[in-house]
Structure 1
């Protein structure tokens, strides 16, 4: 049991360090040697736990990136409160975290999508799976908002979800190194105006009492 726990702890440490390096330098600009140097491990130790650099990265996606995305952008919008408030607060908190991150290199998921697109179908499948999960959860949240009377019933749920994803990815890119706090403020101001346009029209509003 102790050996199993030690192995799991070692793999976790390797994956956390790997994700940090891949995020900072990019997958193709980071070698296995770079990772081993950072961890003070041998190649034998690396290949004991992982078949290849690609296998290592896929396990990072499955064990770390999925969890990071879920806790940051999916779990916060799963409640039955006002959907618009849930999404607004979710984006606000995620962007505020980025503002205070001195080592911000952009939205980690979109960075990897851009890097692997057209280069590695296997990795892209895993990355696109995360995007699909995010999109599906946004659609579900918007539909709940329509059902609960917070969003106009004529709103295109799928269209809004794609727009929100595109807007978030875009502003995260613009925030890198260039007035992140100011850009976050302007983005959130416009997002709130956009959400006002989604609220039920008087003739369509449900009675929430």
Structure 2
């Protein structure tokens, strides 16, 4: 295998394992020794690829966390005709995935934002950037929906986007220890009712 490809494969394996540990245990409760033990790597091998635990985590945020959020919550509503319906389906699908995940510890982005808030401004900025990309995507979809007649023109797109993000963060936290099926059902029903109030057309 080409040396660069081998290095990339090793880094990806490290990042995948690191994300699993940080997600389950939290950043501050996970030591480099925990990571090395899970990967069966030496400290020298770790520091060959990353200068610090913080740099390692940032690489995970930039690659895996962003990719996860983009694939699950951003890409499905890009360029859609009816944004309200697309957002509803997108969030329901994401909640269904969480519902059937036996190792669910909450929404990864929200968890990390909560953990680093007030403790590490540098990492918080990287995480906030992902949230901002999601917010901009929602606003763009809603604005297009106004133009295309699927969203009432008086609707505050920025306000709706903020509500969607904060409510999703909240229901995902509740699902960790609550009845996932009922929480998902109730959330989607209320979201659908809310979206009906924003639309000049009848949502199926």
TM-score when normalising by structure 1? 0.94
Structure 1 match to 2:83: 83
Secondary structure of 1:159's match? helix
Structure 1 match to 2:157: 157
Give me the whole-angstrom Cα distance separating, in 2, the residues matched to 1:173 and 1:100.
15
Q: CA RMSD in A?
A: 1.2
Give me the whole-angstrom Cα distance separating, in 1, the residues matched to 2:97 and 2:201.
34
8 A Cα contact 2:21 2:35, kept in partner: yes
Structure 2 match to 1:195: 195
Matched, 1:112 2:107: no
Structure 1 match to 2:140: 140
- Where in structure 2 are the equivalents of 1:67-106 lying within 5 Å? 67-106=67-106
Matched, 1:127 2:127: yes
Kindly state the Cα deviation for residue 81 of structure 1 after the two structures are TM-superposed. Answer: 1.6
Kindly state the Cα deviation for residue 112 of structure 1 after the two structures are TM-superposed. Answer: 0.3
Structure 1 match to 2:172: 172
Kindly state the Cα deviation for residue 7 of structure 1 after the two structures are TM-superposed. Answer: 0.5
8 A Cα contact 2:110 2:169, kept in partner: yes
Distance 1:64 1:201, change over 3 A: closer
Structure 1 stretch displaced more, 43-52 or 73-82: 73-82
Give me the whole-angstrom Cα distance separating, in 1, the residues matched to 2:44 and 2:88.
47
Structure 1 match to 2:4: 4
Kindly state the Cα deviation for residue 201 of structure 1 after the two structures are TM-superposed. Answer: 7.6
Structure 2 match to 1:205: none
Give me the whole-angstrom Cα distance separating, in 1, the residues matched to 2:198 and 2:130.
26
Give me the whole-angstrom Cα distance separating, in 2, the residues matched to 1:115 and 1:91.
23
Matched, 1:18 2:14: no
Give me the whole-angstrom Cα distance separating, in 2, the residues matched to 1:35 and 1:76.
33
Q: Which runs of 4+ in 1 moved over 6 A?
A: none
8 A Cα contact 1:153 1:200, kept in partner: no
8 A Cα contact 1:146 1:152, kept in partner: yes
**What stretches of structure 1 of length at least 5 have no aligned partner?**
203-209
> Residue by residue, what CA displacement relative to the aligned partner does 1:31-83 show, whole Å, maximum 9, x if unpaired?
00001100111000000000000000000011111111100100001023211
8 A Cα contact 1:135 1:162, kept in partner: yes
Question: What is the aligned residue count?
Answer: 202
**What stretches of structure 2 of length at least 5 have no aligned partner?**
none
Give me the whole-angstrom Cα distance separating, in 1, the residues matched to 2:97 and 2:111.
17
Structure 2 match to 1:65: 65
Secondary structure of 2:177's match? coil
